Amino acid sequence: MPIRWMAPESIMYRKFTVDSDCWSFGVVLWEIFTHGKQPWYELSNHEVIKQITDGILLTKPTECPEEIYNIMLDCWHLRAQDRMPISQIHLNLKDLFRKEEKESNYIEVIE
């Protein structure tokens, strides 16, 4: 099982839902902003389980914008029902992309 990407309820009770997928999505975002580091790379699987079930979260990657890390944190609430719905995460990411696009100094060369 991919322990490092699993939500607490998936680890503890083998419960897999859209909410546990949301948790995993937050971990994938973390991987992207660490340029592919394995989550909890310094820990064994047993240590990872302890961290997750104790509510200890992955730290903010160095090059990660605060807005993106906040989305990760919204994915990582211990109680599944407290996590942001994936549809809202999608909207938030679209809004961030649009904001970044407007503020960008780059010229789009390919349409």
Residue 108 included in any domain: no
Question: What CATH number did the domain enclosing 64 receive?
Answer: 1.10.510.10
Average pLDDT of the chain is 92
- What's the pTM? 0.87
- What's the rounded Cα separation, in Å, for the pair 31 and 22? 14
Counting the structural domains of the chain, the total is 1
Backbone φ and ψ for 6, nearest 5 degrees, come out as: -90, 145
Question: What is the domain extent for residue 24?
Answer: 3-103
For tokens 């961030």, name the residue.
96
pLDDT given at position 108? 57
Residue 111 included in any domain: no
Give me the DSSP letters along 70-87.
HHHHHH--SSGGGSPPHH
Model pLDDT for residues 27-78, shown as the tens digit of each residue: 999 999 999 999 999 999 999 999 999 999 999 999 899 999 999 999 999 9
